[in-house]
Each structure stands twice: as C-alpha cells, then as structure tokens.
Chains A and B, each alone.
Chain A
Amino acid sequence: MVEEVVELSRLQFAITAMYHFLFVPLTMGLSFLLVIMETVYVMTGKQIYRDMTQFWGKLFGINFALGVTTGITLEFQFGTNWAYYSHYVGDVFGAPLAIEGLMAFFLESTFIGLFFFGWERLSKVQHLTVTFLTALGSNLSALWILVANAWMQNPVGAEFNYQTMRMEMTSFYELLFNPVAQVKFVHTVAAGYVTGSMFVLGISAYYLLKGRDLPFARRSFAVAAGFGLASILSVIVLGDESGYNLGDVQRTKLAAIESEWETHEPPAGFILIGLPNEETQTTDYAIRIPYLLGLIATRTLTEPVYGIKDLLVDHEARIRTGITAYALLQKLRSGDPDEADRTAFEEAKKDLSYGLLLKRYTPNVVDATEAQIKQAARDTIPRVAPLFWSFRIMVAAGFLMLFIFAAAFYYCAKRREHRKRWLLRLALYGIPLPWIAAEAGWIVAEYGRQPWAIGEVLPTFLGVSSRTTGDLWFSLAGLVGFYTLLLVVELYLMFRFARLGPSSLHTGRYHFERSSGGAAGQPMDQQQ
C-alpha cells in the first residue's frame, strides 16, 4: 500500500464529498419551502405565491444542477478509488446506494423536469404534486445515503464471510433501522431545512434593506422565518449526539470531540471550551459544565462516557486478538480448514479488523512487534484538536442561527421585521452559517471515524484501489479544477439572479421592470 495513494484518495474523497454537500442541504430545504409557497398559491390563488415559487425555484435550479454534477462522482468514486472497500463491503453498502437510485433519485430527477416545464401543461394541483414529489425524492435520497453512511459508523446487520473475503448482509431490517441512521437522518434533513430557510431569509432581507419588492420579500421572509425556527430547533434538540453511545467508533469519536481523556464518574461534565493537548493527554484551561455531557450522550445519569485513555487500553487488547484472528484466517484461506479452526475464527473474527490495522506496519500482521502494536493502538484514536474545534464551530453556528430565526420570527409576528435593519443585515450576512455548520459537522462525523473506513470492520488505508500516485494527481487536479470552475459559474449566476430578484421572471410586476423605478406608487407595493 503506497501511503501517498492512501492520503490522496482520502483527500479526493473529502474534497468531492464536501463540494457535493455545498449543494445538497439547499436542495433538501429549498424544495420543501417551494412546496409551502406553492401550497399557499393553490389554496389562496394569489399570484404572488406563484411568483415566489417560480423565483425561488429558479435559484433552486441553479443550485440543483451542481448538486447533480458533484453527486455523479460520488456514486462511482467508491469503485474507482476505493476498490477494496467496494469488494469488502459492497454486499451491504451497495444496497442502500442502489435503492437510493431506484426509490429516490429517479423520483426527484423525473419530477424536477416537470417542475420547470410543467407550469403551463399541468393543472395547479398536478403541479403542486410534482413539486412535492421532487422534494420527497430529494429527502428520501438523503435517507438512503445516510443509511449507508450510518452503517460506516455503526456496522450492524452484517457478518464477515471468510470464503468470500467480505462482509455480508445478515439482516436488511437492522441495516435500515440502524439507530445511528435514524438520528443522522433527522439531524441532516433538518439541517437542510435550516439551510433553505437561511438562504431565503437572507436574500429576502437584502430586498427589504434595498426597499424593493416589499410584498414579495416580506412574504418570503416570513415563510423562511417560521420554517427556519422550527427546523433549527429540531437540529439542536435532536442533535445526533444521542447516537454517540452506539458502538465503539462513535464512543471514540465522542471522546475526541469532547477532548475527554479520562472516564469520569457518571454523569460526565461537558467541556464547553479548552485547549486539547495531545502530548500530555489533557485538556488545558477546560471550562466544564457538570452533568451535561452524560445527559446529552447517554440520556441517563448513570451510564459513563468513556475517556480516550481507557479506550486505548481496550483497543490494544483487541489488536492482540486480531492477530490471532488473522492467523486463523490465513489458515482457513489456504484450504482444508478443520472444524476447530473455523470455530476459533468465528470467535475471534470480530477483532479481525483490529489485526488488519497492523498491515500498515507489517504486511504479514502475525509477526508484529510490541512497538507496532502500540503504534496501531494509537492509530485508533483520531486527532483530537480538529474534532474538538469543528464540533464547537458547528454548535456556535447553530446557536447563532437559532438567535436569527427566533428574532426574525418574533418581529414577523409583530409585523416590524422590515424596519429592523440590524436583523436584516444579520440575516443577510448570516447566509454562510448553515454551510459552515454542515461542513464542520461532516468533518466531525467522517474525520472522527478514522482510522476506519467502516467502523471496526475495515481500516481506511486498506480500502483504496491499486492505482498510482500519477493517476490520483490526474483525477484530483481534474475534479478540483472542474468543480472550482463550475462553482465560480454557479455563484456568479446565483448572485446575478438573487440581485435581480423576482424581476428575473419578466412578469412586468417587479422592481426593475417598472419604468418609474422609484419606491412609491407601485401597484404591488400597495397590496400589503
């Protein structure tokens, strides 16, 4: 295994996934906002809600195009760059991906065409149904991808088969109802709704600050404030921390997020802020809130939250069993195994993956030295500082958005939101917040999964394809080049149309199309 190929493959996956997730949450959130706006149009028959659906739909389309562009890569990248991963877990991991295509992506992609082209061809209710099915498709898509991702974090419902040298599904039910998948789904989808709401809220605030298209902007602002407040509350209350007590990988991740080196008497305290120190294995200048972590992570007052030092001891023991498992596997693979070997392997195989961690230092595993075992044990703990800080950035962005949505909702209820310029500015400049939170959240989830590609099943470095560094540089350069170029184009169009506002619909009813151009005496503005 060439170390550089591993590093480049990881970098490429991280970059392509993070690019993809710039567009996904907005698709998920904005699609349901479109459903809300169009529902109001169908129920009240007011033209302005149709204009809202069409205008925000235009921006939705600009975003959706890049979501698809960046998504194609991810469907094939497991095969191109993670060939051994694909072989080793495809039996389990491939299923949710394929079902995502069949059940969700087909739905979303077929109906999005009708969303844009069907306004004149379909009845009002038919078109609303189309919009709803597009939104449903994009959200179901998230469900299956998160089922797949949750299995990487907490691989339930599967078992290793030495005859086929891979993990095989034992229960589809367990895979689908993986508790980690449930919390992840709720958390991620709600985060998408927050993104959509923040986007509409911020851009509407821009029109209000400019004093243009007030009825359009105020209605959009109000819809976003209401939907956003409900969504941000769901994200925070149903944060996926509750999934962190499931399985060893999640426990290790939690310890790293919290920079929690020792196991404390339950319920554990929550480190609000501090400086993680890997050298001394302590957290300097820590400010602790008593009881809070134990409550969040275990939802009890009695269960412990494990510290890194204790996890290390446990992992080292498992590496030693893993060596035994590996020796038995070699025996089984070389043919004519006896019953005793098979039984012994079945017993030890849950730690086989820990034995595989040694492949980085000695290809034959069984001849590992004490120093190599210690080194492999240290590898089982991801670096603490990036996780500690990413998590806190995510949470801070979340609470800031809670404040913005709460204030927006309050002043909407008071019908004074368009006069609160500080709020409008905050909403406008707060637009990047959900993206910062989402990307930081994924860093926590995936960087925190290291050194595993599949938690306690397959080390990341073993999963790569047998390609050269030259191949990797070619693909990395191509992907980054294309994506960056397309992102620039996307942002250019997004800014252009967002600035233009509903005038881009060319209905003749909005700001830039009226010859007077001033602020007073316009028909739409008087409809309030």
Chain B
Amino acid sequence: MIFDYETLKLIWWVLIGVLLIGFVISDGFDMGVGALLPFLGRDDDERRVIINTIGPHWEGNQVWFITAGGAIFAAWPAVYAAAFSGFYIAMLLVLFALFFRPVGFDYRSKIADPRWRTAWDWGLFAGGAVPALLFGVAFGNLLLGVPFSHDEFLRPSYSGSFWGLLHPFALLSGVLSLAMLMTHGALWLQLRTEAPIAARARAAARIAVLIMLAAFALAGIWLAFGVDGYRIVSMPPTDAPSNPLAKVVEIADGAWLNNYGRYPWMILAPVVAFAGGVGTFLLATIRRPGWAFITSALSMTGVILTAAFSMFPFILPSSTVPNSSLTVWDAPSSHLTLMVMFWAAAIFVPLILLYTFWSYRALWGKVTVKQIQENTHSAY
C-alpha cells in the first residue's frame, strides 16, 4: 500500500472535509435559493424563474451530501454509527425536509392550480431552510460535545434528547449556517436572473452576509471564552487499530484554541472566512455576483475549516464519557478499506468535477420570465 495507516487516517480527514465543502458550495446555493424562494419571487412566473436556475443542477449537487454520508460510513463507521443514531430526531427532520425537494421541483409546475404551486413552494422552502439550519446546529453540538458513550463491545448509546441539541451556541451555529447558505443562494440568483429578481437577490445577499459575519464573530468569541474544549491526555500510537476506548481525554477551558498556538498557519481559516465575507459584501454591492459567488465559497470553506481545525483531531467529542470521544486516529476504518476508498475518491472526484462543470457550462445563461412563458409545459 502506498500510504501508511497514519497518513491515510489523515488523508481521510481531509477527504471528508473536501466532500463536506463540496456539498456546502454546490448544494449550499440551491438550498439557499430554496430558502429564499417564497420571498424573492413575487408571482408564479418569477418563482419559476428562480426554480429553473437550479432545476437542472440541484439533483447532482445533493449527491455531495449523500456521498459525504456514504463516505463517513465507509471511512469513519464509528462516527456514522454514533452521530446519526445520537442525532436521531434531528436527522429525521432533515430527511423529512429533504423529501420535499425531488418531488417539489419535478411536480410543482405540472399542475396549474395556484394552491398546489404555493404548497410546493413552501415545501421547497422547508427543503432548503431546515437542513441548512440543522446542519449548523449539529456542527455547534460537535464543538460543545455530544452526550454519548461506548460499552465494552463498542456499542454507542446516546443519553441526550432532541431539545438538548438546541443549546444557544448551537442555535447560533445554525443561524450562521443558514445565513451562509442564503448568501450563497442569493448570489446565485443575482448571477442567473434579471431585474427585478436580481435586484432583490442582491439586497438579500448583502443582508445575509452581514448576519453571517456577525454570527461567525460572535461564535468565535463564544468558543474562546464560553465553550470548553477537549484535549487528549494519552493515547495509543496513531497507527494502532481503531479502538476509541484506549485513550484518555479531558475537558479543558479554551482547549479548542490550542491548535492555533501549535500550528499558527491554521489561523488562515478564520481569516479567509472573514475576508471572504467582507469581499462578498463589497462585490455584491458593486454588482459583481460571479466574483462574489467565489468569495462566498471561500468564506464558507473558511468557516468549515475553522471548526475542523479547532477540533482536530477530535471528530465527535463525548461530553459524558470523554474517553469515548471519536478522533481522527481511533474512528477510521481499517488500513485496507481506507486505501480502497482513497483510490475510489482519487479516480471519481476529478471525474465528477469534470462532468459537473460541463453540465453547468452547457446550460449557462440568465433564466428569464420570457423563457419560462415560452416553455411553460417543459420547464419546472
């Protein structure tokens, strides 16, 4: 095998990050568009314009989410098991909200009744807003620590409740995530539509990105002063077989900032998040939505990396039994599985990017009310 086990564990931490960032950049904008749909589209034609800017692409985008789920299953089975069963109710709410999307897009305009269409519009709203909010809440809870533990045979069990997830810090993370995706969605609309939708989208992007910047700053201060971090006291060698119970972990004030002292370059992540956000605001203001879309993508990447760097090597810290926490070193699959999955990702991710870009290029251009009226029976 070309990589040793320790290197592969690290590579998979990076690859899961790539999939999550890919998800936020691509599916993020269509979820943001969904969340904005009832507010930016004032009549049926306008709403159809909005829907048709993402109609051909949302489906492929959503696969980033599904593949990230599958990749966590394959590369970090312990995380997949503990997190998804722990966040049971939240996970189901995300799924229920996502149900509205495939049917919403395809069925909405097949029937002309305005009540039918309005109902699906709100379905698409839920399908965008609820996951965007709850993903943020989930990330916030990772930073807070999750009440779960393993028994001697490594069966995970969760001792919190759904309401326990709604800690104020987690809710702030939820607001951050929703604002971030709405910014991204609004920029997409500014880019792909004409006035008056584009003008409304521009206003929405400017407000959303300011909320995002404020939430990110507040969350950073809170993390530094108000949230306890986790620290590994002792653990087996990093290339040992995955056994989450073999290490000793302690909860420590401000431990989530330790990495920035140890690896000063990590500070780049929050810097990019801020700079990207500010750049987005300016570029949206001077009507450069294409560039603003890119800075917004950079900013979201910075936000996700900030969370990831703060926690490294933790993935899922346990607040009740800290030694049960799952880390980059003791949550992964076996050496062979990580290697096989590395090759799968190395071959297919570039291919996916290639044909995804081709699909965007083939359908590029502004979507207009006139086009919708001309293709009223085939457009979404």
Judge whether A72 and B333 touch: CB under 8 Å. Answer: no
Measured CA separation A185–B153 after assembly (Å): 34
**Residue from the list B77, B89, B105, B336 in contact with A471, Cβ < 8 A:** B89
**Residue from the list A113, A118, A163 in contact with B241, Cβ < 8 A:** A163
User: In the complex, how many residues of chain A place their beta carbon closer than 8 angstroms to a beta carbon of chain B?
Assistant: 76
B225 interface hit (Cβ, 8 Å): no
A91 interface hit (Cβ, 8 Å): yes
Judge whether B89 and A86 touch: CB under 8 Å. Answer: no
8 Å CB contacts to B: which residues of A76-97?
Answer: 76, 78-81, 83-84, 86-87, 89-95, 97
A490 interface hit (Cβ, 8 Å): yes
B291 interface hit (Cβ, 8 Å): no
Measured CA separation A454–B103 after assembly (Å): 33
B214 interface hit (Cβ, 8 Å): no
In chain B, what residue has the closest Cβ to A97?
B70
Judge whether B69 and A102 touch: CB under 8 Å. Answer: no
In chain A, what residue has the closest Cβ to B377?
A506
Measured CA separation A479–B93 after assembly (Å): 10
Judge whether B103 and A490 touch: CB under 8 Å. Answer: yes
B349 interface hit (Cβ, 8 Å): yes
Judge whether B88 and A98 touch: CB under 8 Å. Answer: no
Interface of B: prevailing SS? helix
User: 1/0 per position for A157-200, CB-CB distance to B under 8 A?
Assistant: 00001011110111010000000000000000000000000000
Measured CA separation A395–B83 after assembly (Å): 42
B334 interface hit (Cβ, 8 Å): yes
Known pairs A466-B158, A467-B85; A113 contacts B60 (CB<8 A)? yes
Judge whether B73 and A122 touch: CB under 8 Å. Answer: no
**Residue from the list A91, A98, A497 in contact with B334, Cβ < 8 A:** A91
**Residue from the list B59, B81, B158, B377 in contact with A112, Cβ < 8 A:** B59
Judge whether A65 and B107 touch: CB under 8 Å. Answer: yes
Measured CA separation A273–B88 after assembly (Å): 45
A64 interface hit (Cβ, 8 Å): yes
Judge whether A80 and B85 touch: CB under 8 Å. Answer: yes
Known pairs A94-B75, A489-B103; A101 contacts B66 (CB<8 A)? yes
User: 1/0 per position for A44-69, CB-CB distance to B under 8 A?
Assistant: 00000000000000000110111011
Known pairs A98-B67, A482-B99; A165 contacts B154 (CB<8 A)? yes
**Residue from the list A72, A107, A110, A170 in contact with B66, Cβ < 8 A:** A72
In chain A, what residue has the closest Cβ to B78?
A87
Known pairs A94-B77, A163-B241, A506-B377; A68 contacts B102 (CB<8 A)? yes
8 Å CB contacts to A: which residues of B42-79?
Answer: 55-60, 62-63, 66-67, 69-71, 73-75, 77-78
In chain A, what residue has the closest Cβ to B356?
A110
Judge whether B333 and A91 touch: CB under 8 Å. Answer: yes
Known pairs A102-B348, A109-B63, A489-B107; A94 contacts B80 (CB<8 A)? yes
Judge whether B98 and A333 touch: CB under 8 Å. Answer: no
A interface residues with partner B (beta carbon < 8 Å): 61-62, 64-66, 68-69, 72-73, 75-76, 78-81, 83-84, 86-87, 89-95, 97-103, 105-107, 109-114, 116-119, 121-122, 126, 161, 163-166, 168-170, 172, 333, 465-467, 471, 474-475, 478-479, 482, 486, 489-490, 493, 497, 504-506
Sample (14) of A-B pairs whose CB atoms are under 8 Å apart = A66-B103, A79-B84, A83-B156, A84-B81, A91-B74, A95-B341, A110-B359, A113-B60, A113-B363, A117-B56, A168-B334, A169-B336, A172-B340, A493-B107
User: Knowing that A66-B102, A80-B85, A168-B336 are A-B contacts, what are 18 other residue pairs whose CB atoms are under 8 Å apart, sorted by A's residue number?
Assistant: A68-B62, A69-B103, A73-B95, A79-B69, A80-B88, A81-B85, A90-B78, A94-B75, A98-B67, A101-B69, A102-B345, A106-B348, A106-B352, A109-B60, A112-B59, A169-B336, A466-B158, A467-B158
Closest 6 CB pairs of A and B: A90-B77, A79-B84, A94-B74, A101-B67, A113-B56, A110-B60
